[in-house]
Amino acid sequence: MAQKTYKIGIDARMFSDAFTGIGRYNFELTKRLFEEKTFKEKSLEWVIFLNEPQYSQFDFPKNVKKVCVNAGHYSLAEQVKFCWLLYKEQCDLVHFSHFNLPLLYWRRFVVTIHDTTISFYPGKKMNAWWRKLAYKLVIRHAVKAASHIITVSQHTKKDVIQLFGTASEKISAIHIAPSPEFRIIAEEDCAVVRDKFSLNSDFVLYTGNWREHKNLVGLIEAFAQLKAKPAFRDLQLVITGKEDPHYPEVKETIARLKLANDVKLVGLVEINDLIALFNAATIYVCPSFYEGFGLPPLEAMACGTPVAVSNAASLPEVCGSAAMYFDPHNIADMAAVLENLLQDKTKQASLRTQGLQQAHGFSWDETAHKTYEVYKRVF
């Protein structure tokens, strides 16, 4: 009798070697998972489901079959075309790396839930009734029908339990990790990025999108309190990320507080510039009300930069004792913590050392190993 072959599928419709988001999660995870050739003492075949242009751009080992889906999230094609392709492949297990999956798919699957942000902060893009309904239907199906759920933090695990009444034993919290590209670089490379974006020697850095839960308006208001003091006359705030027209209050706050010359909106930056900005920053700040994991503070730590973060959601779990904390709902507290860290060189040095240790405690190899153990558990 021929040896049975196990077939495991990965929903990688978001797939990218860029350094943020679910695309990077799939990139790092599959790079390690696809090294596995056997499953429960049987031969193993992988199937990766991709959209264009990633389907054409990326190659994989011989034991990996590529399937072109071209179905966006929350789309009819996701519910019909993708569902048909999934059943056609007849995988023994599918890992959906995001909760967006076909409502009519009922074979064995594992799902990763990175956060439940939309449940708490739906944002302006989710104001249509049909978007809210689609979100609720899809995530509830994912949670209910999954053989097992992976979350990227204990905090997100608790949120899933709270929101959906899921049994704790059905969920495994598996941390993600900063890419090894985030590292300490030479000072001359920092000087290049300062010159490129016309930055002073002292600046506070924020990286990320402009959505409500990121609390950018609060950060700008706290920065304005710092700028009112002579000691911070030359201090700048650098904000990366694509400008979002859904959140005009960010630029409106900058204008209202007359900070146009002090707040640098540098847009989306290339990875080498991002790493250099992390290195060059005096401190990195994450003012979020909510994060499912919060990778940027770890990336800053890996670059040897002192970090100040809000004491909310998963951030204390991720940053541990290697950061200074503030109440994101209290602008005066945020400003005070930033001021103390900016002026305390001894504390900065201590956080650099602690931050490097904290960042190195997270590993994509460990993430992949624990994920593979989840696969074994559900059979």
pTM of the predicted protein model: 0.94
For residue 1, the model assigns a pLDDT of 40
Same domain, 240 and 367: no
- Distance, in Å, from the CA atom of 213 to the CA atom of 233, rounded to the nearest integer, reads 29
Whole-number pLDDT of residue 130:
76
Number of domains in the chain: 2
Per-residue confidence (pLDDT) for residue 19, from 0 to 100: 58
Walking along the chain (379 residues) 10 residues at a time, the average pLDDT comes out as: 80 84 93 93 94 96 96 92 98 97 96 94 74 88 97 98 97 96 96 97 95 96 97 97 90 97 95 96 98 96 98 98 98 98 98 98 97 95
Residues 195 and 49 in one domain: no
End-to-end, the C-alpha distance of the chain in Å comes to 22
Same domain (yes/no): 228, 171:
no
Range of the domain at 195: 187-360
Report the side by side order of strands in the sheet with 283-286.
Answer: 263-267, 236-240, 203-206, 283-286, 307-310, 324-326
Same domain for 150 and 219: no
pLDDT the model gives residue 129: 73
The answer to whether residues 94 and 170 belong to one domain is yes
> Among the residues of 245-344, which ranges form H helices?
249-256, 271-280, 295-302, 315-319, 331-343
Q: How many CA atoms lie within 13 A of 181 on its CB side?
A: 15
Q: Identify the CATH number of the domain in which residue 130 sits.
A: 3.40.50.2000
- Domain match, 63 and 204 both: no
Per-residue pLDDT, 242: 87
Q: Is 198 found in the same domain as 109?
A: no
Would residue 159 count as lying in a domain?
yes
